[in-house]
Structure 1
Amino acid sequence: MLWGFIEGLLGHACPGCGGPLDAPSLCRACRAELWPKLQGEMVYLGAYGRWGRVVRALKYGRRFGLAPLLARPLAEGVLQAGWALKGVAAVPTLLPRLLQRGYNPPELLAREVARLLGLPYRRVLRRRRYAPSQPTRGRARRALPQDLFAPVERVEGAWLLLDDVLTSGATFLRAREALLMAGASRVYGAFIAVRDPGALGPYR
């Protein structure tokens, strides 16, 4: 309550609904809507139309307190799904962007999820090049180079791959392919929000 009061004095509105903060980082009403949704081999919190402001607050607003709040329902979804995981990884960003921002939002989330699940978090992948934002529709996977990501170490067993938003599925697919190249036997996905529900279909 104290942190919510301080954030209110600083002019911070709830990033979930834009209303006043009555709890740290996210208001109580928005917290009540944080529950996992499972579809196939994916877990997510909801549509981008609902949680887009939360994603942007974490990604651009440096609202780091959101990461543990969002990680908890995602971890609960993983436990509900019963996935036997060996570790957790995140979709990486380019090094210049990481240096400029100072952090990678999916990594913040992935570290928290790993901690809650009692699993190791590892930087298994690196991003090799820039790629433009993906369209909401069309799922233009072939528009992205196959070597967009590269593994930097070997892993084994099933892994959870975190990203903040699933848009067309193209970026996640390339990162998933790289994680499989690293030795993962299976790759599950976790996201804050989904732009295109059709991108939640099974990946081949």
Structure 2
Amino acid sequence: MKYGLSYSFNALFASPCVLCGCTGQGVLCDACRKSVSKPEYCCQICGQAITGASLTLRCSQCLAKPPAYEHLFYVGNYDDRLSALIIRAKVARRLAAILALQILIRDFAEKYPDWGNDFADYHLLAMPSPRSRLMQRGFNLPWLLAKTLSQCFGLPIVPQNRVTLPFWVKKQAKLNYRQRQKNQHRYIIHRQLSAPLPQKVVIVDDIVTTGTTVNQLSQQLRQENIANIAVWAMARVNDSCQNY
């Protein structure tokens, strides 16, 4: 397993913590780093918090109607600290916040060293962003996360031009749950006879809220005969614990 992360030693320790502002521990202090957490028990398919362990480790919704993807992995709950970190990286475009997210990916790699072996024959597929948003921000955060995951685990990445979105799409962040369900993203799959899409992919995203976006992409990938689909996200919005 490789840890070739793109931040430098000097940049890591010269800046104050991007969340609390304390100095001497780099862009993400130990306290803020340890505050990133997730439920003890999660549905192994959608990642939602569940009330306890069982033989299936699946929530009631996935038992009744599972999504088009098979597993969802994530670093932590989309709570105050992690949400602030992602917003500062994605919207405010703060380099320190991006470096802090890279640190959390390294922590994930150290905590789950076998994850790369379990998905050794998968390709990472960064959740695409509409070109209008790319022009506004200058980068696609899921692509940066995928690059860091690739460096940690040695997994290949699907080129950004293979799966894209139209120039403009309505932002999911501005929609409620019902509106998100109806907001259909029409992904454009660019077929190449010389280099077909891999049969196994891990979709990489920054935030999974209702799961609608990753499920829509997964459904379209299934139509392209993709055999196995997993999801990796930096953060997951969790509802209150569910019963089985």
* TM band (smaller chain): 0.7 to 0.9
Once the two structures are superposed, the pairs formed by residues 167-186 of structure 1 within 5 Å of their partners are 167-186=209-228
- Kindly indicate whether the alpha-carbon contact (under 8 Å) linking 1:35 and 1:73 is maintained by their aligned counterparts in 2: no
- Kindly indicate whether the alpha-carbon contact (under 8 Å) linking 2:128 and 2:140 is maintained by their aligned counterparts in 1: yes
Q: Distance in 1 between matches of 2:11 and 2:154?
A: 28
Q: Distance in 1 between matches of 2:113 and 2:203?
A: 12
1:79 aligns with 2:96: no
- 1:201 matched residue in structure 2: none
Secondary structure of the residue aligned to 2:206 is strand
- TM-score, with normalisation over the residues of structure 1? 0.77
Q: Distance in 2 between matches of 1:29 and 1:127?
A: 38
- Kindly indicate whether the alpha-carbon contact (under 8 Å) linking 1:74 and 1:113 is maintained by their aligned counterparts in 2: no
Secondary structure of the residue aligned to 2:123 is strand
- Kindly indicate whether the alpha-carbon contact (under 8 Å) linking 2:128 and 2:165 is maintained by their aligned counterparts in 1: yes
Give CA deviations for 1:95-125 in whole Å, capped at 9, x if unaligned. Answer: 1211221100111001111221111111231
Question: 97-106 or 44-53, which moves further after superposition?
Answer: 44-53
1:66 aligns with 2:100: yes
- Between Structure 1 and Structure 2, how many residues are aligned? 191
Q: CA deviation at 1:55?
A: 0.8
- 1:166 matched residue in structure 2: 208
Larger radius of gyration: 2
Structure 1 segments unaligned to the other structure (5+ residues): 199-204
Q: Distance in 1 between matches of 2:35 and 2:89?
A: 18
Change (3 A) 1:118 1:6: closer
- 1:30 matched residue in structure 2: 32
Matched to 2:233, the amino acid is F
Secondary structure of the residue aligned to 2:122 is strand
- TM-score, with normalisation over the residues of structure 2? 0.66
Structure 2 segments unaligned to the other structure (5+ residues): 1-8, 45-70
- 1:98 matched residue in structure 2: 134
Percent same amino acid at aligned positions? Answer: 21
Q: CA deviation at 1:144?
A: 2.1
Q: Equivalent of 2:232, from 170, 186, 190?
A: 190
Give CA deviations for 1:46-92 in whole Å, capped at 9, x if unaligned. Answer: 22114101111211232231342132244454834833542101111
Matched to 1:158, the amino acid is K
Secondary structure of the residue aligned to 2:15 is helix
Matched to 2:26, the amino acid is P
Q: Distance in 2 between matches of 1:21 and 1:125?
A: 41
- 2:75 matched residue in structure 1: 45
CA RMSD, aligned part only? 3.0
Q: Distance in 1 between matches of 2:145 and 2:164?
A: 17
Q: CA deviation at 1:36?
A: 7.5
- Kindly indicate whether the alpha-carbon contact (under 8 Å) linking 2:120 and 2:155 is maintained by their aligned counterparts in 1: no
Secondary structure of the residue aligned to 1:162 is strand
- Kindly indicate whether the alpha-carbon contact (under 8 Å) linking 1:4 and 1:24 is maintained by their aligned counterparts in 2: yes
- 1:202 matched residue in structure 2: none
Question: 53-62 or 63-72, which moves further after superposition?
Answer: 63-72
Q: Equivalent of 2:149, from 98, 109, 113?
A: 113
Give CA deviations for 1:149-172 in whole Å, capped at 9, x if unaligned. Answer: 122243233211111111111111
Matched to 2:198, the amino acid is E
